[in-house]
Amino acid sequence: MISQLPWSPSSVLLAVALFLSFLVTVSLPTIPFMDAVRVSSKEGFSVPGRDVNSTEVFTEIRYGIWSICSWNLEGGKVCHSQTSELPFSMKASSPLATASILGALAASLSLTPAIANHAALVCTVSTALALFSFFYVQVWFYSAIRDLFSRGFHGFPKDPSVVHAGPGLWTGFAVLVLMTTASILSCVKRRRRRLAAEAGHAMEF
């Protein structure tokens, strides 16, 4: 069934982009390595604990869309949800972008001419949503965390150099590149179809 679908280079790129975007959307804590921002220090840094007058030492903190996970000196992991810290629009943009990529892939593989003719438009809209999601979630998140550490908030070290872009951010960038390339290929494919149709129509006369 899958082999009978009209696969093209743009469809393959969309399939890869869909898989990567799904990983970015799931994020922490389900996929521990798919964090947008990573704060790490080999020596560890002390932060205020949950109890009064107590401190906790962490070597790494990973910020995802749905959760924040911290690793202590013993290698123990603690995760807590950050659903209240991030606005709903930020949390919803990544799943929306993933859903739009799925729609673009379905349109590119459609056997219905009416849908296939609009595949380039659907892919372009999906690319715009992926672009918005990347800058609104990944880039903004990284900039915000780096700014907080540059000001030393809540007892964290005043050292922005400990803040790094996580795999989730780079994966989001890869999705954006794949979507942009797929959009260009889809537009070229649509243009060739139109020229071929016009040439065939002219030969009839």
pLDDT in tens, the chain (205 residues): 555 677 889 999 999 999 999 999 999 889 999 999 998 877 777 665 555 455 678 888 899 988 889 888 777 888 888 655 677 778 889 999 999 999 999 999 988 888 888 899 999 999 999 999 999 889 988 998 888 888 876 666 677 888 999 999 999 999 999 999 999 999 998 887 777 666 665 444 4
User: Cα separation of 62 and 79, whole Å?
Assistant: 9
What pLDDT does 184 receive?
94
CB proximity list for 132: less than 8 A, separation 6 or greater? 93, 97
What pLDDT does 202 receive?
47
